[in-house]
Amino acid sequence: MDERLAVVLAFERDPSNHIVVPDHIRHWHPLVFAAQQTLKKPVIDQREMPSTNSHRLDAAKMHNDSR
């Protein structure tokens, strides 16, 4: 195994590095909510991957709108 991969795997397996996410989230961050909405009907790109290129995910616009 590549030494670099071994280091990453060791880090990921260490319980102190685990991120606990609740099963039910009541209040989503605005960018998470926007990504969720955009990915409901994604545009599939040339790599056959869902694209999130959307005005809904314009972080600068969202920041200015929240003022």
pLDDT, tens digit, 9 for 90 and up, residues 15-42: 999 999 899 999 998 888 888 888 888 8
Question: Domain boundaries in the chain?
Answer: 23-67
In angstroms, the CA 57 to CA 63 distance is: 11
Instruction: Write the pLDDT tens digit of every residue in 36-63.
Output: 888 888 888 888 888 766 555 665 565 5
Nearest Cα residue to 30 out of 1, 10, 67, 56: 56
Q: Is the dihedral of CA 46, 59, 66, 34 positive or negative?
A: positive
Containing 32, the helix (H) or strand (E) segment is helix 30-40
